[in-house]
Structure 1
Amino acid sequence: MTIFQGDINRNTVILRLFLLSGTSLAFAFFIFTNSYEDSFYSYLIFTALIIALVVINLLSLRVFTQSRKDVINKVNADNMVTLLDNISDICCICDKDFRFIYWNKAAEEISGYKFEEIAGKRFDDLFKSASTPERDKLIGQMIMEKRKSLTFSYEAFMKGILNQFEITVFPSGDNYIYLVRNITDKLLIEQQNNRTNKILEATSDLVAMVNVQGQNVYMNNAGVRLLDEKNDDSNVRRSLVEMHPPDVYKYLITEAIPYALKHGTWQGETRFITSEGKTIPVSQVIIAHLDSQGHLEYISTIARDISKEKQAEEELKKINFELDHFVYRASHDLRAPLTSIRGLVEISLEERDTQKLKQYMSFVGDSAKKLDNYIINLLSISRNDRLEMEQRPIDFSILIQETIEELRFLKNADRINISWDISCEGQFCSDLIRLKIIFKNIISNAIKYQRVNITNSFLSINISGDPQLIRAVFTDNGIGIQEDSKERIFDMFYRGTELSDGSGLGLYIVKSVIEKLKGRIQLHSKISEGTTTIIEIPGYSMKKDTDQEL
């Protein structure tokens, strides 16, 4: 509107100039026509009038134009002051000596100084800083490079408190316009955010944030690793639906999140789904973040993988079940021979026949032996769970000979041929006590469950390997194991044949001990053909143990 009005004023002046010029010409023409007798003077007068009128009109136009510029400058200055007074940051104008000549309202509110208090003072008097030479150097470069503005950081004391400022300088003639923004709080918030981010990235728990649309907008490194995510936008931003199984998602939407909205937080056990489709049980906390109007802004969640705890819980349930079963079976199996012994003793007290007494005592001895074997097996189980590993070099030949010697009084031990072949390269080291338990149970089974209707019963033992791993193969031609018993043959108290008078703990103990040694066992058997038992046990480096002790 101002520009348009200015054009009208300029046109008016031009029109006035033409009118005045025309009037002047008409007047000159009148004089000329009435003074034709002295034409030379008439021409002089005519020319002088024309020149005078043009000069007068030009001077009028200049005066008018300068007046218009003054009005525009005043209007612009008033508008500039109004604009600067409405800026929320400190805005000041300094002269070439960096002395204040203007101080906006925000500056008065932030600094606490009225303009009258700082007028004429230097910028450094208010913003005391050791970086003044650096500032002057930057401003000098700006002037030399004829740049329109310069922005730099400035650390200074204001009211005795060290503050961080971001300053933008605009050259304006011989003056400088300073736009000063106090970024102390902003930097503190950034530092706090950086510390928080470092904590979030260092924690081993999943931390994630989900927006109101259910999209995952943040996940820390622990969460990325837990859910097998690729660290890019396409995978990290999986939705809440994709991160949970359907039943869990339904529960979160209908129960957990509404509870968090009402009470602030919710805590419980849920499950996540990895990008590969694996389900992971977690202990999860959901926090609802609301805005000032009480509307949901976003949801943050913290989740801890409890797979090991769940596995331990299942193992504990299994152990408790086995313990209950063990107590029941152990009490029954311990009580049976004791009851037998007690009954035999009562009969013996009334018996006078010496031969019968000897027979009764033989039965008592068998029951006591059975009880002793049972107790030995129980001690083997306890020893395997309780004792620490005791690694030592193993001589398998001596181990087999000692085991055979201990079992030589078993029934029919003298009618089975036991042979062995050992081809180990280097020194194998392991726990001798546990190896003895394994070898004793396997060899004793071959003796007890041989086929008595044949004359060539045998057990061959083949051991091969190196210091890292040994493989022992036990092959006999005994009665074998029925097909439907193979799956349960390693269960506690399971007896694979009716001919067994044992505790049903032998192969359970063997498998438990082998697992303790980080090994594995396989068993192949056919009825009336025999059984092949294969065990593999990793070795233990004595050098490694010595290095660890050093």
Structure 2
Amino acid sequence: MSHTVLGYQLMGLDLQFQFQQGFGFWATIFSFLVGVSLIFYIYLRFPQNTLVRLYLLLGLTGILWQLNDLLTHLSANVQTASFFDRLTSMGWNFIGPVCLHFVWYYTRFFHRHRAPHVLLLLYLPSFFLLSLYQMDLYPHVFTYIPSWGWVKDISKPWVSVIQLSWISLLVWVATWNMIRYTIAVRHHPVQFKQALLITLAVSMPAIAGVIVQFLIPLLWHTPSYPVTSSFMTVSVCCTFIALKKYQLFQPRDLIEEELVMSEVPVLVCCVMPNGFAAYLNNYGQYVLGISGASSASRPFHQLFKAADARHLQHLLEAHDQALAGKESNLPDIALHTPSGIRQMHFAVRPLINNGRIIATLWVGKDITDLRQMQVELMRKEYLLSEAQQLAHLGNWEWNVADNRMVWSDEMYRIYGCRSDEKITLARFMELIDEADRVRVKRLFKKALSSRKGFSFYHQTMVNGKDKVIFVKGYIGQTQDGTINRVYGIAQDVTERIEKEKLLEKQNRELEKVNQELDRFIYSISHDLRSPIASMMGIVQLCEEETDPQVNKHHFSMLRESLKRLDHFITDVMHYSNNARMPVNKSPIIWSSLVEEVINSIPAVYHRDVDIHFEYVEQTDEFYSDAYRIKTILQKLLFNAVLHKHPERNKNEVFLLVQANDQQCTLVIEDKGMGIDHTVQSRIFEMFYRANSKVPGSGLGLYIVKEMLNKLEGEITVHSEPGVGTRFALTIPNQKNLVIT
């Protein structure tokens, strides 16, 4: 044996190497290079799932162990050997737990048991022992063997014995698990041979290592030759045979891990680029009536026995498209199965790993029962449409081939057509109101393209009356998916919609009445009791007072309270009359009506207010409800007088009336106190008073608004505080107007 010694200085250590040419050197370096080659081969060529990643991690720990033996073999002194042993000790320290972890995953241990704490207990001792070793808490004993080099003496101290015993125990447990799994899959030829090779790959280095490195040195006190890493070449060979011959790390492993489809009611199949099935889950085997062993020896189009040539062509095209990187869906594929013809829905996509397509993935759902349910549902829908026809509903059908529509008798009645009229789709569209026609055509076109049902409302004119029709339709298809008919129902819902609108209006009115009633009761109790209480107090004062002059003042106060009470009762009466009395049309003589209104205002209120009236007459006949118009003018003029400007000696109110054949415009404008902008939107509310200093019930403007609503009129207000207020009213001429 010849050798050359080289020395290096690194981190204060004198590292020396000797290049030997003995058996140990060549055995170690050969094993190391073979292990590295296998790791790169698996990484580049096979799918990267959890199982493969665990094997790569196991191979990496083995390579580190082999590198440990190689570097200590090349070390020329014990310091160099100890340095490299500490540097690569993670390999031999963790090979035991990683090996058992890989075996458990390979044998589906984690599929049967949910035990996350097991992995913690598996790796924790190795981390603990490695930390003891790296911190030099016990001596590292090395022995030099002339024919081999520096080797670690694992028979001492006792921590090394415990460390190696723990590693050996884990590897033997892994071997025992593999033996049990190999026996369990003995009836599956490919799986059995694959498991047998993995068992040899795990057990051979373990057996050789325990015998040569542990038992012999312990019993006969001989040097411990590091042959375990060299025997890993046997593991590499067994793994390579399993990869090439017995489908180890094939796409089926990736499918089972990522989809977990072995027991769910969905067919899952993995097809290799050559067309042969690499994997078929349990449900797929059950549906197709074949075993898993025989499925791997057949092309996929023989597994999926298409009921006709067209469906077979769809299967082949979907496989080719998936290999080209495209996904596809086959919604209705009929397959021959032991239980008869089954309808399947397939989703086909490429199975990509490491950036390349390694297979095609087929996921199929048996939709036979669903299709039967759909047929039954369509039959019941047809029966339902017949029942609707008996209940005055029309049913229709459009034949796509000849563009002919078949109508029931009720359809002709709904649309007001003659029973002998030939109806086409174009004629049907003509019967739809022009405002709805474009929308209906768009909905119809969308339904044909999406092949989904549709419904819509539209208006039409029948015998001079507007009708609202509800239409609902369905798309009929042949077995090959061609649209052959569109059918559905039509219902005249005019009366229903009118009743719904009336009911909605009545509900709004009822809600409004309820709210007003609440406010009305509250205000009545307050506004009636207030003057009555005031009068009772004045009467009591009169009874106690003997001076006639003082009582005269009391009587004056009593009169004012009675006036307020009378004014409030008058407002309540106007409110009640407006709510219950219909509109009574009569010709309006504006000059006499306005004069009567002005005279009805007590002189005490407008003695310092001038009311100017201007009437522009443009028609001889204006009809409306005289009582309501008179009340409206009384309320507005009285408000203008009451809200006069206190700092002006003379106030003015202007009333302009302009009537024509269509409507009358009334403008009441004053130069009084005005209304604050923040409250102008609320002045027409019941019992709302914008100025509490001016007497009133808060009903005046509310009654004005309600009476205008009865007359179908409108009112607007414009006011500036301190400047004045302007009310503008428009009242339609009811000479030819029907009031509802």
TM-score bracket relative to the smaller structure? 0.3 to 0.5
After TM superposition, the score normalised by the length of structure 1 is: 0.48
